[in-house]
Amino acid sequence: MRLSDEPAFVLHARAWRETSLLVEVLSANHGRIGLVARGVRGAKRHPLRAALQPLQSIRLDAVQQGELAQLRSAEALDAAPRLIGDAMLAGFYINELTLRLTPRGEPQPDLFVAYAVTRERLRAEAPLAWTLRRFERDLLEGLGVGFDWSQDGEGDPIDPAARYRVDPEQGPQRVLSDRGHGDRSRAASGRGLLCLASDGVPDAEDLPGLRRVLRTVLAHHLGPRGLKSWEMLAGMPSRAPAPD
């Protein structure tokens, strides 16, 4: 199969053999694609190598041959966001999460749009925590494992004054008391879940709960092997609010 003028975002690139790269991209029409970029680490192919940096928006030509496609050409469509500090870690996180959870060769048009929007939010230095929660929500939705965040697993409307855990299969479940449900502080506020449903900006105090419940769902779908970005965050000393 020939891929011509295919828009894509670069998720990951690593050295392969002496002069080549193995590249993973999220494409507009074919979902995640694994590419072999031959000879791009040689001096004469420097412009092409520069177009294959993570977060870069590209247009590519390739020929699908088995599991991997052979890259024929790629051009950068814009300048990748120049991220530093927490924003750089956030960029690494969205790439790693997309790489781990999206199957190859399955079109993900809604996820492609969500990734593009998140990338621009990172470029614009939008608040990181809310930017990442929105991407996590949209990723789950794009993969067909998301929820209607305006109601619980029984179909009842979310109560903004209540607190909720989120079952990875059933969705939000109201925490009625500490007994039998563990620590309520590990749950999310109903008010926060409703912001997730409406795309309204949550209060700062509701963001940690959203992070915890979304991570529970993501960890379920990732399986026993977590994310390197989570390990990096866990190893950081206490400081200003982190982007996770």
Q: What is the pLDDT of residues 151-171, one digit of tens each?
A: 999 999 999 999 999 999 999
The residue segments making up the domain with residue 92 are 85-234
Q: Quick one: 54 and 97 in the same domain? A: no
Q: Quick one: 94 and 192 in the same domain? A: yes
Helix, coil or strand: residue 125? coil
Structural domain contains residue 161 = yes
The residue among 199 and 182 whose pLDDT is bigger is 199
41 falls in which pLDDT band (50, 70, 90)? confident
Is residue 183 predicted with pLDDT exceeding 70? no
Using only C-alpha atoms, what is the Rg of the chain? 20
| Sequence-separated (6 or more) residues with CB below 8 Å from residue 224 | none
Cβ-in-10-Å burial (0-12, 13-18, 19+) of 20 comes to: middle
Q: Quick one: 13 and 128 in the same domain? A: no
Structural domain contains residue 63 = yes
**Could you report the per-residue pLDDT of 113-144, keeping only the tens digit for each?**
999 999 999 999 999 999 999 999 999 999 99
Is the dihedral angle over the CA atoms 17, 21, 26, 28 positive or is it negative? negative
Q: Quick one: 143 and 29 in the same domain? A: no
Q: Quick one: 63 and 93 in the same domain? A: no
Structural domain contains residue 244 = no
- For the chain, what is the domain count? 2
Continuous H helices in 102-200: 109-123, 128-142, 190-198
Do the beta carbons of residue 13 and residue 58 sit within 8 Å?
Answer: no
Q: Quick one: 38 and 106 in the same domain? A: no
Do the beta carbons of residue 59 and residue 42 sit within 8 Å?
Answer: no
Rounded CA gap, 74 and 27, in Å? 12
Last residue of a domain, one of 24, 50, 76: 76
